[in-house]
Amino acid sequence: MKTLLNVIWLVLSGFWMALGYLAAGIVCCVLIITIPFGLASFRIANYALWPFGRTIEQRREAGAMSLIGNVVWIVVAGWWLTLGHIVTGLLQCVTIIGIPLGIANFKMIPVSLVPLGSRIVPTD
């Protein structure tokens, strides 16, 4: 079932959301200081392509630097990626078939806002 949902997700919104994360990652990698944000963005782009069967887990050992980095991320790219998830999720929740896809969009909001200090793990 998750493979079917992932294929539908990829066609309806996953590809476009992954492009947004890739654009943010490229911009962050061009600015030398923000390369860690670019790498996090590329990691989330992979998650945005195929989200079903994976979940987000907070790393407890993340320290103050990840907090500072997350504040910078919100200013640079996090707010507009989160806005993209909110708009796409609301549009997908209009139809019955799109409700699981909308919920997946809403599930991605925390990692799009604060990617440092979290990791993407399989649910199995």
- The secondary structure element, H or E, covering residue 18 is helix 15-30
Which pLDDT belongs to residue 68? 87
Its pTM surpasses 0.75: yes
- Give dist(CA 111, CA 91) in Å, integer: 20
pLDDT attached to residue 106: 93
Which pLDDT score is estimated for 42?
Answer: 93
How buried is residue 56: exposed, middle or buried, by Cβ count under 10 Å (0-12/13-18/19+)? middle
Q: Could you tell me if 113 and 74 are in contact, meaning their C-beta atoms sit under 8 angstroms apart?
A: yes
pLDDT in tens, the chain (124 residues): 788 888 888 888 889 889 988 988 898 899 888 888 889 889 999 998 988 888 888 887 777 888 888 888 888 778 888 898 899 899 989 989 889 889 989 988 988 888 888 888 888 7
**What is the per-residue pLDDT for 16?**
87
